[in-house]
Amino acid sequence: MIENIGADIYRSWTDEKRREEIDKLIEGYRNGLPVTILCTMATAIAGNERGARKHIIKLMPLRERKALVAKEAGNDRDLQVHLTRFFI
């Protein structure tokens, strides 16, 4: 039960509230928050990866998302594929 408390709270939020919170995570990423935390928390807040993508795509310009993938993945092809699927 306690492990689901965040999910229970997030489900009660409006789509607008979810977007605001994901926007705060994006700002956090821009200020040094690890991309893994951005992805994990955005997914939890949105309820699934597809919902997280929807919000992130609306909140981050494509150029910034492409730069994020290039920076975070480096030469790791598997990570690049995963991040591309999530952000692009």
The pLDDT profile of the chain, 88 residues, written as one tens digit per residue, is 445 667 778 988 999 999 999 999 999 999 999 999 999 999 999 999 999 999 999 999 999 999 999 999 999 999 999 999 999 9
Tokens for 66? 């492409």
pTM, to two decimals: 0.88
Q: How many domains does the chain have?
A: 1
Tokens of 71: 């920076």
Name residue, tokens 């893994």: 36
pLDDT of residue 3: 55
- What's the pLDDT score for residue 8? 78
Domain boundaries, position 73: 2-87
Place of tokens 């977007």: 19
Specify the amino acid at residue 37. I
pLDDT attached to residue 6: 73
